[in-house]
Structure 1
Amino acid sequence: MASLRKRNNYYSIVFATRVDGKLIQKAYSLGTRYKKIAEQKRIEYEKLYQAGEINPFDDNWNLQEYEKMQDLEGTSVLSPIMNSLQKQFLKEKTNVTEKTKRTYKYIIRQFMDQVGHTMPVTRITADDIRNFCLRDKLANASKKNYLKHLKAFFNWVVEKEFIESNPCDKINLPKTRDNLVDKIIEEKDLNIIFKKFRDYQLKHKKARAIQSTDQMQLWFKPLITLAFYTGLRRKEIVQLRWEHVHLKEQFLRVTDTKNGQERTVPIFDPLYWRLKAWRKLMGNPKKGLVFPSPKSNSKLEIPMTGDNVSKRFKFYATEEADLKDTINFHGLRHSCATFLLRNGFNVIEVKNMLGHKSLEVTNRYVHLVAKDLLATANKNGLIKDKSA
């Protein structure tokens, strides 16, 4: 039999047996202050003792040395494994959307692919987290996102008292320069991209390299215009439906959002005319995807592939229009934020329109329009010319 004893806030396991009617006890420190961890170890060690795999009454046996050997051999059974903890975590994570839960599942599973699905959680180290989250090939945003989700998972593991501290707490993300300005374009850049797109299409059409409407990519101008003037995320755009586009009233509703909350977005005039022409070209549909894949038909609706949209925009923006290499499709969302601020929308309005989780995210764009703020201040007489 084995029982627990607590002294100076730390638990020990006490083995007891009788020899010739005399009670003999042996106590070993478990090195933990958490009852759940201690109880788990007690159960496992008692099983090992009853199975004859350990003999705690042998003067040559030492629990700490035994655990070290188990760690070296990779055979420890004294800790719940990552795979079972992931399943329990996702089951109890009821305060988030299904999309967020899928993100947790994806990231934790990727981490388990690296350290092992049956890895005991007590053996996870800060180096394991660092090697996974701070890989060179990951973008800074991905590094931050991976660490954030793993930190939440291991906080839960700590709360369940399976480990004493969160290994993620020892990880510091490398400081990086906020390069949003390098990803932003203005309306004049948008017009340059569209001109280069038109020139490219005409050139290849004359050369008979383009032989179908699919190859003409007629969706390009209306879709990119939509991204620039609404700031919708790529997935929100490819999932957008005509039922949610109200051209007459000049607003659209975004229902398939990242945070699960619907939002209403105005349709500015440049976008209005693009969408009206696009709708007419499609036969004035009242329902269905706004940007369906060419593979769609009357019975099967297939959204456009997000990767293809991003690649096409990147091609025309950086290769044909020769704009900065840092420009990408998601930069259109950043561009929309600065466009709105420059045109008098306040930070809260921009936050609500783009569906940001907090004002902190939106405030990243305020310093980008500093020159505009100075110009407004000068116009209103708040800043006067000091050279006179």
Structure 2
Amino acid sequence: MGIPKLTSTKYKGIGFYKDKIKGKVYIGTYRINGKLYRKIVGYENDEYRTNEKIAFLKKEEFKEKILKGTSSTKKKLFFKDIWQEYITHLRNSQYCSNKTIETKVSTYNVHYKPIFDNLNISKITNYQIQQFANNCLKTKAPKSVLNYVSDLSAFFNYAIRYKLINENPAKNIDLPKFDNERVYPLTVEESKKLFNTILNYHEELYRGVFTFLLQGRRKEEVLNITWDMIDLEKKEYTIRYEENKARKNMTYLMNDELYDILINIEDKEGYVFKSPKTKGKLENIRHAWKRIKFTAGIEKDMTIHELRHLLGYTLLNEANQTEEVTAAVLGQTTKKATKRYAKVRQNVAALGLKKAFDYLKE
């Protein structure tokens, strides 16, 4: 859990937030050799009756210990402590989306915490990581275990970067080979039937959500979009860097089908697609997806994410669009795709999307 928003004090690097039991919780913030440190340095109700001045002195003491190489954090590099520091780093750096960070936190709570929490990270061995992976493979798919090991490797790379350890124990872990490619499951006629079912679906809320997904957007991008990211005058919308995989703001032109839906939504405050019950963010669209597939007569196993595959397949194979245009429409984020995307203008991508829509409407 991240540190709440702090109230500043007159002492440099000292802020606080209020806790019902501990009173003011003082946080010391300082930077050494480019590394940002943030540490709880005392509570209003602790044995020292810490105030702003005492908090400042404690902060300076911790800072001095680190400079001298005698900080206790150098001696007790427990996995649980460095992991929390790592997650705070990711949140502050905005390197990962909120969803990605929450996934890492969930993986930690379920899989890492019971095994590694109280281990010194400098003592964790390659053999221990291999055993961890082997045990996970007993109940989890190889792709999931690969993700767990990859996240561990990124964590240990963070520790190496700040000279907490010298080697990454999560490197060269043996995992079974697997084919992660999934063949697009629908025929052309089935694709057209599903496409037109979405455009004409009787539930207005979900017609809007799934028409937006047909623009090539990912589910969380659509569910997290708010009205300040929509420009109806210019007929464009922006997926902010916090929500997309490109880690930068991505602006797209909206087609007529999407524009007609958005212009007719009465409540243009907050989330574009609101939960009918809470009026907040719409969280679950799986049941609506089942209803749409049933209406379209689609019995094959097909995930919501595969609407992107439907669009990509149509762009490349039926609408005769280039890989560059397809990458631009889908907002793909590999280095190769990103390089291509930069060369494709918004209106060219929008034209490609129109051709795909025109083909699927036939």
| TM score, norm. by length of structure 1 | 0.54
Deviation at 1:98, TM superposition (A): 5.7
Report how many residues are paired: 262
Which ranges in structure 2 are unaligned for 5 or more consecutive residues? 1-68, 340-362
Q: Secondary structure at the match of 1:356?
A: coil
Q: Secondary structure at the match of 1:265?
A: strand
Q: Secondary structure at the match of 1:304?
A: coil
Deviation at 1:127, TM superposition (A): 2.8
Q: Decide whether the 8 Å contact of 1:83 with 1:112 is kept in 2.
A: no
2:323 counterpart (337, 347, 351): 347
- Corresponding position: 1:303 with 2:289: no
> CA deviation digits over 1:338-385, x for unaligned, max 9?
23334344333433443322145789xxxxxxxxxxxxxxxxxxxxxx
Deviation at 1:197, TM superposition (A): 11
Q: Decide whether the 8 Å contact of 2:238 with 2:252 is kept in 1.
A: yes
Q: Secondary structure at the match of 1:166?
A: coil
- Shift of the 182–150 alpha-carbon distance from structure 1 to 2, 3 Å rule, reads same
Q: Decide whether the 8 Å contact of 1:242 with 1:286 is kept in 2.
A: yes
Aligned letter for 1:150? Answer: L
Match of 2:260 in 1: 276
- Shift of the 180–186 alpha-carbon distance from structure 1 to 2, 3 Å rule, reads farther
Separation in structure 1 between the aligned mates of residue 287 and residue 140 of structure 2, nearest angstrom: 19
Separation in structure 2 between the aligned mates of residue 359 and residue 97 of structure 1, nearest angstrom: 16
- Corresponding position: 1:244 with 2:229: yes
- Shift of the 162–249 alpha-carbon distance from structure 1 to 2, 3 Å rule, reads closer
Aligned letter for 2:281? Answer: P
Separation in structure 2 between the aligned mates of residue 334 and residue 261 of structure 1, nearest angstrom: 23
Larger Rg: 1
Separation in structure 1 between the aligned mates of residue 229 and residue 196 of structure 2, nearest angstrom: 26
Q: Decide whether the 8 Å contact of 2:232 with 2:263 is kept in 1.
A: no
| Correspondences of 1:218-297 after superposition (within 5 Å) | 218-228=204-214, 230-247=215-232, 249-255=234-240, 256-259=242-245, 260-269=247-256, 271-272=257-258, 275-277=259-261, 279-280=263-264, 282-283=265-266, 285-296=267-278
Match of 2:108 in 1: 108
Aligned letter for 1:157? Answer: A
Cα root mean square deviation, aligned? 4.1
Q: Decide whether the 8 Å contact of 2:289 with 2:304 is kept in 1.
A: yes
Separation in structure 2 between the aligned mates of residue 170 and residue 356 of structure 1, nearest angstrom: 28
| TM score, norm. by length of structure 2 | 0.58
Deviation at 1:86, TM superposition (A): 1.3
Q: Decide whether the 8 Å contact of 1:81 with 1:118 is kept in 2.
A: yes
Deviation at 1:175, TM superposition (A): 2.5
Q: Decide whether the 8 Å contact of 1:293 with 1:303 is kept in 2.
A: yes
What fraction of aligned residue pairs are identical, expressed as a percent? 20
Q: Decide whether the 8 Å contact of 1:183 with 1:334 is kept in 2.
A: no
Match of 1:50 in 2: none
- Corresponding position: 1:332 with 2:318: no
